Copies of this chain bind each other. A is one copy, B any other.
Amino acid sequence: MIRKPTSRETARKPNMREAILAAAEELFATNGFNAVSVRDIAHAAGANPGSVTYHFRTKDGLLLEIYRRHCGPMNLRRSELLAAARRVRDLQDRLEAIVRAYVVPAFTSGSDLAGGGARFTRLRAVMSAEGNEVARKIIAQTFDDTSHAFIDAIHESLPHIPRTDIVWRSHFLLGALYYSLVTPERVSRLSRGEADGSDAAGAIEQLVQATVAAFQAPALDQAAPARRRPVVSSKS
A19 within 8 A of B: no
Q: Categorize the interface residue count of chain A.
A: 35 or more
A63 within 8 A of B: no
A217 engages B210 (CB within 8 Å): yes
Q: Could you pull out 16 A-B pairs where Cβ atoms are within 8 angstroms?
A: A163-B194, A164-B194, A164-B195, A167-B187, A168-B195, A170-B190, A171-B179, A171-B186, A172-B180, A176-B176, A178-B179, A202-B222, A205-B220, A213-B214, A213-B217, A214-B214
**Per-residue 0/1 for A204-216: is the Cβ within 8 Å of any B Cβ (1 yes, 0 no)?**
0111011111111
A220 engages B232 (CB within 8 Å): no
Q: Given the complex, which residues of B lie within 8 Å of A32, measured CB to CB?
A: 32, 34, 129-131
**Per-residue 0/1 for A125-147: is the Cβ within 8 Å of any B Cβ (1 yes, 0 no)?**
11011110000000010001001
Option from B172, B191, B207 in Cβ contact (under 8 Å) with A167 = B191
Closest residue to A32 on the B side, CB-wise? B130
What is the copy number of this chain in the assembly? 2
Tell me, rounded to whole Å, the shortest Cβ–Cβ distance linking A69 to chain B: 18
Q: Interface of A with B (CB < 8 Å)?
A: 30-35, 81, 84-85, 88, 93-94, 96-97, 100-101, 104, 108-109, 125-126, 128-131, 140, 144, 147-148, 151, 163-165, 167-180, 182-183, 186-187, 189-191, 194-195, 197, 202-203, 205-207, 209-218, 220, 222, 228, 230-234, 236
Q: Given the complex, which residues of B lie within 8 Å of A203, measured CB to CB?
A: 168
Q: Given the complex, which residues of B lie within 8 Å of A180, measured CB to CB?
A: 171-172, 175
